[in-house]
Amino acid sequence: MRRLLAACLVMLTALPLWADARHTVLMDVLQVRNLSQILQAEGLQFGATLDEEWLDGQGGPAWTGQVSRIYDAQRISEGIRAGLEPALAGDLLEDVITFFASDLGTRVITLENSARQALALEDVEQEARSRFAELQESDGPRLKQISRMIDAGDLINRNVTSALNSNYQFLRALVDGDVYVMTDREILEDVFSERDAIAADTLGWLGAFMLLAYSPLTLEELTLYADFVETPAGVALNAGLFAGFDPMYEDISYALGRAMALNMAAEEL
């Protein structure tokens, strides 16, 4: 009896360790470390834009350092994992690992990361947006597969909601930092007044990104990927990613707002 109990305890202890190891494999096949570095670079670029628009380009090294710490790549990676771990377990986890460890899955992730980096260049983004707009009018077979993926992940609504929440947190931080005097209701009204514009921009960006990323894939490969996205594992993966991204970017947006408020106050001294 004691030996059986001891064996059970060993097995129960090993289960979390096994799950942790498999989630580490998941992070590897999804190339999350590379993605986190790309998102950090995007954050630094966004920080430079904020510097120009809010600080007249006078933020200097202090502002750059603040933005760099806020968009810490390790923090981003941990935020992504925090969303994925509860969303994926058992067969769902194994199905995602199996797909993205395959040749097609590896190509998909590599292409997505490369496209995200390329879209950081304004001319590339505009060209990709234009191509997507043209494709929308033709209603071609590749667009149908892209539309399947957008619908399966509810990507427009999820991204718009995420953007609105992030904008709310940034504005709330400015209010907390005494840059503005607004009630919570006024903040919400201001944020939601941009919902339609954000939705239109989100569709344009998503279409441009997916068209650019998957252009090297054959129609058959693109269809196979769309098939996976619609599976329970694909749906769970998408939900897990948003579960990680949403709170992380809300925290980042609030931190940016507070840093901005401090810098604006310093300018007035």
Torsion (CA) 212, 217, 220, 223 in degrees, nearest 10:
-40
Domain boundaries, the chain: 25-268
- Averaged pLDDT score across all residues of the chain: 91
Amino acid at residue number 7: A
Is 170 in contact with 253 (CB distance < 8 Å)? Answer: yes
pLDDT tens digits along 183-230: 999 999 999 999 999 999 999 999 999 999 999 999 999 999 999 999
Q: Give which of 266, 125, 123 is closest to 207, Cα–Cα.
A: 125
pTM, whole model, 2 decimals? 0.90
Query: Could you give the residue ranges of the DSSP H alpha helices within the chain?
Result: 2-29, 32-54, 60-70, 73-87, 90-101, 103-118, 122-138, 141-152, 155-176, 184-192, 195-214, 219-229, 232-268
pLDDT digits (tens, 9 = 90+) for 95-118: 999 999 999 999 999 999 999 999
Residue 218, SS3 per DSSP: coil
